[in-house]
């Protein structure tokens, strides 16, 4: 049985770094965007897949939503269970979601959409569509080609808190895929892990969602709901399950 890179990536220093990348102000702004886009009332069931450390789940639970956080990282899920008992936490691979018409809304934030092989991506989107009740909305945040390629760099590094984070990137035009070697450095110790991100255009993402039985409601190029254009900072698409 093959093992995908993301199955053994999210633990230890990698999780510590991702936790430092999102401020409380960013979480609040993203949750405000989700509440407006999902159009769910407090008390609705909402799925966060994958949920990472659960920051969105916790904030939405505080606002009265019945949250389910779904993530493959056992370290993240165990920590999330200790951080909040108001959320249902599930540890599993996102493509293995297997419920029918249980959620009023769902979202996928971060870069996780591009982690999966194409057939697994189709499986994931179909699973999300099945999991939604009629009229339920799905919000996807994705690093679309129009975002990634204009600013692509073969090498980058960042200093985040007490860590240095470096990337060596190689883009395969044939596969529309970025292969990355991530290096994390803290206290003079370095850890290197591989990663992979499949890149879809904004139009391809929308076609995949439609193919999964979802109707496109809107697309944006930022949390401020500005239009999506070439070189935008991120790609958001809001889709809806047929009623």
CATH number of the domain enclosing 156: 2.20.25
Q: What is the pLDDT of residue 2?
A: 53
- Give the whole-number percent of the chain exceeding pLDDT 90: 96
* Same-domain pairing of 73 and 123: yes
Chain centre distance of CA 234: 12
105 and 180 belong to one structural domain: no
pLDDT of residue 1: 41
Tally of structural domains, the chain = 2
Half-sphere exposure of residue 100: CA atoms within 13 angstroms, side-chain side: 0
Q: In what order do the strands lie in the sheet with 66-71?
A: 88-91, 66-71, 45-48, 103-108, 132-142, 235-241, 214-220
What pLDDT shows up at residue 243? 82
Rounded to 5 degrees, what angle do the CA atoms 122, 45, 198 make?
25
Tell me: pLDDT of 212 over 90: yes
Sign of the dihedral defined by the CA atoms of residues 60, 66, 72, 74, in that order: positive
- Tell me if 136 sits within 8 A of 241, measured CB to CB: yes
What pLDDT, in 10s, does the model give residues 1-53? 457 999 999 999 999 999 999 899 999 999 999 999 999 999 999 999 999 99
How confident is the model over 127-171, as pLDDT tens digits? 999 999 999 999 999 999 999 999 999 999 999 999 999 999 999
Q: Could you tell me if 70 and 153 lie in one domain?
A: no
Q: At 234, which CATH number? A: 3.40.50.150
Considering the domain architecture, whether residues 86 and 133 belong to the same structural domain is answered as: yes
Q: Find the domain containing 103 and state its range.
A: 5-143+199-241
Backbone phi, psi, residue 203, to 5°: -65, -40
């Amino acid at each position: 049985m093959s093992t995908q890179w993301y199955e053994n990536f999210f633990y230890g220093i990698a999780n510590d770094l991702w936790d430092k990348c999102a401020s409380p102000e960013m979480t609040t702004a993203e949750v405000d965007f989700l509440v407006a886009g999902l159009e769910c009332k407090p008390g609705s069931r909402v799925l966060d897949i994958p949920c990472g450390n659960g920051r969105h789940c916790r904030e939405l639970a505080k606002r009265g939503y019945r949250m389910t956080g779904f993530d493959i990282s056992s370290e993240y899920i165990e920590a999330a269970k200790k951080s909040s008992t108001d959320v249902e936490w599930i540890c599993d691979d996102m493509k293995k979601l297997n419920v029918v018409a249980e959620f009023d809304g769902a979202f996928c934030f971060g870069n996780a959409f591009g982690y999966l092989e194409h057939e697994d991506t189709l499986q994931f989107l179909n699973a999300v569509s099945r999991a939604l009740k009629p009229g339920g909305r799905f919000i996807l945040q994705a690093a679309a080609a129009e975002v990634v390629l204009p600013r692509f760099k073969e090498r980058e590094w960042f200093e985040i808190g007490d860590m240095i984070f470096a990337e060596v990137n190689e883009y395969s035009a044939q596969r529309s895929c970025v292969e990355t070697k991530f290096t994390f450095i803290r206290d003079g110790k370095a850890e290197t892990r591989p990663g992979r991100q499949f890149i879809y255009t904004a139009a391809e993402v929308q076609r995949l969602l439609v193919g999964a039985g979802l109707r496109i409601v809107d697309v944006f190029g930022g949390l401020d709901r500005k239009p999506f254009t070439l070189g935008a900072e991120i790609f958001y698409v809001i889709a809806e399950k047929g009623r």
